[in-house]
A and B are shown apart, each in its own frame.
Chain A
Amino acid sequence: MRNDKAKVASDIAAQKKANTLTQHFQYPPGTAAFEGLANCRSCQLLSDVNVGNCPRCNDTLYLRSPNSIQRTLALIITAILLYIPANIYPIMNTVLFNDKTASTIVGGVVLFVESGSYFIAAVIFAASVLIPIAKMLIILWLCYATSRQSHLSRPELSRLYRATEFIGKWSMIDIFVVAILVALVHITGIMVVEPGTAAQAFAGVVILTMIAAHQFDARLIWDKQKNNE
């Protein structure tokens, strides 16, 4: 019984080793993975993937992040679901002399347009409507494009990915605006700003899309064969 188990374990180990040995040839020439070298995720030291852990910082070594596409998709789907309450519920309530007004994310933009501050309206619209939606769509599309033929070339896809990664945290602007207004505008009886449910949901959307962008392994874009360019 024990012998069987040991045999199975050694078989699996042998299989794994064989896999890692043959896998290298799936990667395009000129890449580190083609030579069997793994780029450490923490310290960017190149070392043989069969070593297991990075000799400099002890992080686990992978040629490509495991299950990167699945993790990214799961996070993005959660973010899309959370984006629905973020737009339905009010992001903050303004109480003026016991008169309560609720404002949603889009409502805030409309308010600025009506009062004539088009530039601020554009900034808020970009940060809290355009960027989150564009980000989620781009990441979904990148996940699709790594497995299928795509209209865009690999440098263009790579540039899109870098843009989403860079722009991610700027969607937090709306949350910080709410936080400052809640703290600052608080004169009991005259004018009070209360946070709304949507603020929590929206913060969740921003964080989930940020984690999703980190989880996506950009190198997968370049692993595709050259024939679709």
Chain B
Amino acid sequence: METQSKIACHDCDCLIMLPEMQINQTLVCPSCSSKQFTTYNRPLDYSISYGLSSLILLVMANSFPFLSFDVQGQIRTITLIQASNDLFIQDFVFLAVLVYIFVLLLPMAYLSLLLILLIPIKFGLKSFFAVSIGRLIGYFRPWIMAEVFIVGVLIALIKVIDLADIIVGFSFWAYIGFAILFTLTANISNRHQLWYWIDRAKR
């Protein structure tokens, strides 16, 4: 299968002939100046290593205390999953499911699927369900809200910091690390790059 020689801008449908691109260059649509994609140094290696670290940090963020709240000796400690679980207990099922999906489930699914796709490609093996995984990952990406969740947590902390002593748990730092690495992974394995790999896997 020959490589793609031209693409169409997703915002204005302008035909773009793909130029020879160096590392760390971004292709911008000449007509509407929207960003198409950026090339990275050794994208496959970095995607796998960042993705794997990010997944490990996410698992760690789920296994330690997230925050503690101390009012006159009465301490309440929560884990990450309680942010959605306590909403569920209070019968706010819709909200609980949304928080769970956007903060934990989709990032977990995204990273696992990406690794299932990329690791066989790295070692030159046949990758199963490559096309389905590629499409699923594309659907997941806009709904992952790790960075929004972190800002939400910070604002919640500012709201209660006068009322009690707050102890920040290990899981909080793990989640921040996860969010940073996740953003890097998702940027490096962008749509253009991802489908180039899938093409190679099918060959």
Contact = CB atoms under 8 A, between A and B. Distances in A.
Interface of A: 27, 30-33, 35, 37, 39, 42-46, 56-59, 117, 120, 123-124, 154-155, 158, 161-162, 169-170, 172-187, 190-191, 194-195, 199-200, 203, 207, 210, 214, 218-219, 221-222
Interface residues of B, number: 57
B135 to A, nearest CB: 5
Contacts of A183: 78, 82-83, 85-87
Given A30-B15, A184-B156, A172 B95 contact: no
Contact of B142 (A43, A44, A200, A210): A210
Contacts of B32: 154-155, 158, 222
B157 to A, nearest CB: 8
Nearest to B36: A44
**Which of A37, A124, A169: most chain B Cβ within 10 A?**
A169
11 contacts: A32-B14, A56-B131, A154-B32, A169-B143, A176-B151, A179-B99, A185-B160, A200-B94, A210-B143, A219-B13, A222-B32
Nearest to B34: A162
Given A175-B99, A195-B87, A181 B159 contact: yes
B4 interface: yes
Interface of B: 4, 6-8, 10-15, 31-34, 67, 69, 71, 74, 76, 78, 82-87, 90, 92, 94-95, 98-99, 102-103, 131, 134-135, 138, 142-143, 145, 148-149, 151-153, 155-156, 158-160, 163, 191-192, 195, 198-199
A10 B138 CA distance: 36
Contacts of A178: 95
Contacts of B155: 120, 123-124, 173, 177
Given A43-B195, A179-B95, A187-B74, 12 more contacts: A39-B10, A44-B192, A57-B134, A158-B32, A170-B148, A172-B102, A173-B148, A173-B152, A179-B83, A179-B86, A195-B92, A221-B12
B84 A31 contact: no
Contacts of B145: 169, 172, 176
Contacts of B163: 185, 191
B159 A169 contact: no
Provide the main secondary structure of the chain A interface: helix
A45 B152 contact: no
B37 to A, nearest CB: 9
A169 B148 contact: yes
Provide the main secondary structure of the chain B interface: helix
A177 B13 contact: no
Nearest to B102: A172
B195 A179 contact: no
A173 B99 CA distance: 11
A186 B33 contact: no
A186 B145 CA distance: 25
A179 B87 contact: yes
B135 A35 contact: no
Given A195-B95, A200-B92, A176 B149 contact: yes
Contact of A214 (B8, B98, B142, B151): B142
Contacts of B10: 39, 44, 218
A38 B151 CA distance: 39
A184 B99 contact: no
A222 B83 CA distance: 43
Contact of B78 (A117, A184, A194): A184
A229 to B, nearest CB: 13
Contacts of B95: 175, 178-179, 195, 199-200, 203
B152 A32 contact: no
A181 B95 CA distance: 14
A37 B15 CA distance: 10
A222 B12 contact: yes
B156 A30 contact: no
